[in-house]
Structure 1
Amino acid sequence: MKKLLILLLVCYSTAAFSQTKLVEKVPQVEGKIVIPYEKYVLDNGLTLVIHEDHSDPVVHVDVTYHVGSAREELNKSGFAHFFEHMMFQGSENVGDEEHFKFVTESGGTLNGTTNKDRTNYFETVPSNQLDVMLWLEADRMGFLLPAVTQEKFEVQRSTVKNEKGQNYNNRPYGLFGEVNAASLYPYGHPYSWLTIGKLEDLDRVDVSDLKKFFLRWYGPNNATLTIGGDVNPKEVVKKVEKYFGSIPSGPAVEPMKLAPVTLDKDRYVSYVDNNIRFPLLLFTFPTVPTYHEDEAALDCLSEILGAGKSSYFYKKFVLTQKAIQASTFHPTSELAGEFTMFTLPFPGQKLADFEKQVRDILVEFEANGVTDADIEKFKANYESNTINGLASVRGKVSQLAAYETFRGDPNYIAKDLERYLAVTKEDVIRVFNKYIKGKPAVIQSVLPNAETEPAAPDNYKPATEGENPFPTIDYSELSYNRPNDGKFDRSKKPVPGQSPLVKVPEIWKENWSNGMKIIGTESKEIPTVAIQITLNGGHQLDAKDPGKAGLAQLTASMMNEGTTSLTSEEFQEELRKIGSSISVYAGQNSTTISINTLLKNLDKTLALTEDVLMNPRFDQADFDRNKKQTIEGIKSSETDPAAIASLVYDKLIYGDNHIFSVPSSGVTETVENISLDDVKSFYKKYYSPSVGELVVVGDVSKEEILPKLSFLKNWKGEKVTIPSLKFTNTTGKTKIYLVDKKEAAQSQIRIGYLTDMEYSATGDYYNSYLMNYNLGGAFNSRINLKLREEKGWTYGARSYFDVGENPGPFTATAGVKANATDSSVYEFMTVISDYKENGITPAELEFMKKSIGQKDALSYETPGQKAGFLRRIVHYDLNENYVEDQMKILNKMTKKEIDQIAKDKLKTDQMVILVVGDEASNIEGLRKLGYEIVRLNTKGEPVDGNTMEGGK
Structure 2
Amino acid sequence: MIKRITPLVLLVLLAVGCGKNSETTPQEFIVEYEKFVLDNGLEVIFHIDRSDPVVAVSLTAHVGSAREKEGRTGFAHLFEHLLFLESENLGKGGLDKMTARIGGSGANGSTNRDRTNYLQTVPNDALEKMIWAEADKLGWFINTVTDPVLAKEKQVVKNEKRQGVDNQPYGHTSYVIDKNLYPEDHPYNWQVIGSLDDLQNAALPDVKEFFRRWYVPNNVTLTIVGDFDMDQAKTWVKKYFDEIPEGEPIAPLTPRPGEVEAIKKLYHVDNFARLPELTMTWPTVEQYHSDSYALNVLTDYLSSGKEAPLNLVLVDDKKLTSNVRMYNRTFELAGQVQLSVRAFADKDLDEVAVAIEEAFTKFEQEGISEKDLARIKAGQETNFYNALSSVLGKGVQLAQYNIFAHNPGFINEDIQKVLAVSTEDVMRVYNQYIKDKNYIATSFVPKENLTAALEGSEKAEVAEEQIVMGAEESFDASIQASYEKATSSFDRSTEPPYGKTPEVKIPSVWDDSLANGLKVYGIENHEVPLVQFNMVIDGGQLLDDPNKVGVANLMAQLMTKGTENKTTAELEVAIEQLGASVNVYTSTESTTIAVNTLSRNYNEVMDLVKEIILEPRWDSVEFELAKQSTISRIRQLEASPEMVAQNEFNKLIYGEGNIRAQNILGSIKSVEAITLDDLKSYYEKFISPSVTRMHVVGDLGKVNILASLQNLTTAWESKEVSIPAFDAPVRLDSAQVFFYDIPDSKQSMLEVGYPALASTDPDYYPAVVMNYILGGGGFASRFTQELREGKGYTYGIWSSFEGGKVAGPFSIGSGVRSNVTYESAQLVQDILSDFSSTYSPEDLATTQSFMIKSNARAFETAGAKLNMLENISEYGWDADYVKDREKIVKEMTVERIQELAGSYLDPNKMIWLVVGDAKTQLEGLEKLGFGKPVLINQP
State the TM-score, normalized to the length of structure 2. Answer: 0.94
Match of 1:151 among 148, 154, 162: 148
* Coordinate RMSD, CA, aligned: 1.7
Q: Counterpart of 2:87 in 1: which secondary structure?
A: coil
| Contact 1:59–1:126 (CA under 8 A) maintained in structure 2 | yes
Residue 373 of structure 2 corresponds to 375
Is 1:179 the counterpart of 2:176 in the alignment? yes
Match of 2:110 among 89, 110, 113: 113
Residue 49 of structure 2 corresponds to 53
User: What does residue range 469-480 of structure 1 map to in structure 2 within 5 Å?
Assistant: none
Give the Cα–Cα distance (whole angstroms) in 1 for the partners of residues 638 and 699 of structure 2. Answer: 44
Query: What stretches of structure 1 move > 4 A for 4+ residues in a row?
Result: 28-31, 459-464, 480-484
Residue 606 of structure 1 corresponds to 606
| Contact 1:183–1:462 (CA under 8 A) maintained in structure 2 | no
Residue 307 of structure 2 corresponds to 310
Deviations 1:387-429 (CA, angstroms, capped at 9, x unpaired): 2211111111111010001111101112111100110011111
Question: Structure 1 pair 790/418, CA: closer, same or farther in 2 (3 Å)?
Answer: same
| Contact 1:735–1:934 (CA under 8 A) maintained in structure 2 | yes
Amino acid in structure 2 at the alignment position of 1:506: S
Q: Counterpart of 1:647 in 2: which secondary structure?
A: helix
Give the Cα–Cα distance (whole angstroms) in 2 for the partners of residues 461 and 655 of structure 1. Answer: 44
Is 1:716 the counterpart of 2:714 in the alignment? no
Give the Cα–Cα distance (whole angstroms) in 2 for the partners of residues 353 and 868 of structure 1. Answer: 45
Deviations 1:11-60 (CA, angstroms, capped at 9, x unpaired): xxxxxxx3342123114769523321000000100000000111110000
Amino acid in structure 2 at the alignment position of 1:612: I
Q: How many residues get paired? A: 902
Residue 68 of structure 2 corresponds to 72
Amino acid in structure 1 at the alignment position of 2:559: M
Deviations 1:607-650 (CA, angstroms, capped at 9, x unpaired): 11111110011111111111121122112211111111111111
User: What does residue range 160-559 of structure 1 map to in structure 2 within 5 Å?
Assistant: 160-320=157-317, 321-449=319-447, 451-453=449-451, 454-459=453-458, 484-486=487-489, 488-542=490-544, 545-559=545-559
Q: Counterpart of 1:520 in 2: which secondary structure?
A: strand
Q: Counterpart of 2:117 in 1: which secondary structure?
A: strand
Deviations 1:32-90 (CA, angstroms, capped at 9, x unpaired): 23321000000100000000111110000000100000001111110000000100110
| Contact 1:247–1:483 (CA under 8 A) maintained in structure 2 | no
Amino acid in structure 2 at the alignment position of 1:597: T
Give the Cα–Cα distance (whole angstroms) in 2 for the partners of residues 177 and 263 of structure 1. Answer: 16
Give the Cα–Cα distance (whole angstroms) in 2 for the partners of residues 205 and 79 of structure 1. Answer: 8
Residue 821 of structure 2 corresponds to 821
Question: Structure 1 pair 259/597, CA: closer, same or farther in 2 (3 Å)?
Answer: closer
Unaligned residue ranges in structure 1 (runs of 5+): 1-17, 465-479, 945-952
Give 1:846 shift. 0.3
Give the Cα–Cα distance (whole angstroms) in 1 for the partners of residues 462 and 425 of structure 2. Answer: 36
| Contact 2:11–2:409 (CA under 8 A) maintained in structure 1 | no
Q: Counterpart of 1:649 in 2: which secondary structure?
A: helix
Residue 672 of structure 1 corresponds to 672
Match of 2:137 among 133, 137, 140: 140
Amino acid in structure 1 at the alignment position of 2:7: E
| Contact 1:171–1:275 (CA under 8 A) maintained in structure 2 | yes
Amino acid in structure 2 at the alignment position of 1:429: M
User: What does residue range 765-780 of structure 1 map to in structure 2 within 5 Å?
Assistant: 765-779=764-778, 780=780
| Contact 1:187–1:462 (CA under 8 A) maintained in structure 2 | no
| Contact 1:220–1:250 (CA under 8 A) maintained in structure 2 | yes
Residue 737 of structure 1 corresponds to 738
Give the Cα–Cα distance (whole angstroms) in 1 for the partners of residues 385 and 893 of structure 2. Answer: 45
Amino acid in structure 1 at the alignment position of 2:488: D
Is 1:855 the counterpart of 2:854 in the alignment? yes
State the TM-score, normalized to the length of structure 1. Answer: 0.93
Residue 477 of structure 2 corresponds to none
Residue 628 of structure 2 corresponds to 628
My pick for the range that moved more, 306-315 or 500-509, is 306-315
Q: Counterpart of 1:264 in 2: which secondary structure?
A: coil
| Contact 2:522–2:695 (CA under 8 A) maintained in structure 1 | yes
My pick for the range that moved more, 699-708 or 115-124, is 699-708
Amino acid in structure 1 at the alignment position of 2:596: N
| Contact 1:34–1:413 (CA under 8 A) maintained in structure 2 | no
Give the Cα–Cα distance (whole angstroms) in 2 for the partners of residues 265 and 27 of structure 1. Answer: 48
Amino acid in structure 1 at the alignment position of 2:754: Y
Amino acid in structure 2 at the alignment position of 1:500: P
Unaligned residue ranges in structure 2 (runs of 5+): 14-26, 464-482
Give 1:460 shift. 8.2
Give 1:554 shift. 1.2
Q: Counterpart of 1:82 in 2: which secondary structure?
A: helix
Give 1:760 shift. 2.8
Give the Cα–Cα distance (whole angstroms) in 2 for the partners of residues 350 and 114 of structure 1. Answer: 36
Match of 1:103 among 78, 84, 99: 99
Amino acid in structure 2 at the alignment position of 1:280: E
| Contact 1:248–1:483 (CA under 8 A) maintained in structure 2 | no
Question: Structure 1 pair 496/351, CA: closer, same or farther in 2 (3 Å)?
Answer: same
Question: Structure 1 pair 380/734, CA: closer, same or farther in 2 (3 Å)?
Answer: same
Amino acid in structure 1 at the alignment position of 2:774: L
Give 1:134 shift. 0.8
Is 1:933 the counterpart of 2:932 in the alignment? yes
Question: Sequence identity of aligned pairs in percent?
Answer: 38
| Contact 1:738–1:933 (CA under 8 A) maintained in structure 2 | no
Deviations 1:187-227 (CA, angstroms, capped at 9, x unpaired): 13110111000111112221110110000001010000000
Give the Cα–Cα distance (whole angstroms) in 1 for the partners of residues 72 and 282 of structure 2. Answer: 26
Is 1:26 the counterpart of 2:9 in the alignment? yes
Deviations 1:531-578 (CA, angstroms, capped at 9, x unpaired): 111111111112xx2111121111111112110111111111111111
| Contact 1:67–1:117 (CA under 8 A) maintained in structure 2 | yes
Deviations 1:584-621 (CA, angstroms, capped at 9, x unpaired): 11101111111111012112101111111100111111
Give the Cα–Cα distance (whole angstroms) in 1 for the partners of residues 462 and 275 of structure 2. Answer: 28
Give the Cα–Cα distance (whole angstroms) in 2 for the partners of residues 711 and 390 of structure 1. Answer: 34
My pick for the range that moved more, 24-33 or 489-498, is 24-33
Amino acid in structure 1 at the alignment position of 2:576: R
Is 1:707 the counterpart of 2:703 in the alignment? no
User: What does residue range 5-16 of structure 1 map to in structure 2 within 5 Å?
Assistant: none
Give 1:886 shift. 1.2
Q: Counterpart of 1:24 in 2: which secondary structure?
A: coil
Give the Cα–Cα distance (whole angstroms) in 2 for the partners of residues 805 and 728 of structure 1. Answer: 13
Is 1:693 the counterpart of 2:689 in the alignment? no
Give the Cα–Cα distance (whole angstroms) in 1 for the partners of residues 272 and 459 of structure 2. Answer: 24
Give the Cα–Cα distance (whole angstroms) in 1 for the partners of residues 394 and 290 of structure 2. Answer: 24
Question: Structure 1 pair 839/588, CA: closer, same or farther in 2 (3 Å)?
Answer: farther
Deviations 1:781-827 (CA, angstroms, capped at 9, x unpaired): 00111111111111101111111111111101100000010001100
Give the Cα–Cα distance (whole angstroms) in 1 for the partners of residues 301 and 374 of structure 2. Answer: 11
Question: Structure 1 pair 686/666, CA: closer, same or farther in 2 (3 Å)?
Answer: same
Residue 782 of structure 1 corresponds to 782
Give the Cα–Cα distance (whole angstroms) in 1 for the partners of residues 347 and 582 of structure 2. Answer: 33
Residue 84 of structure 2 corresponds to 88
Deviations 1:476-528 (CA, angstroms, capped at 9, x unpaired): xxxx9986432x21100111113200110111111223221111111011111
Residue 728 of structure 1 corresponds to 729
Is 1:572 the counterpart of 2:572 in the alignment? yes
Give the Cα–Cα distance (whole angstroms) in 2 for the partners of residues 251 and 711 of structure 1. Answer: 68
Give 1:730 shift. 4.4
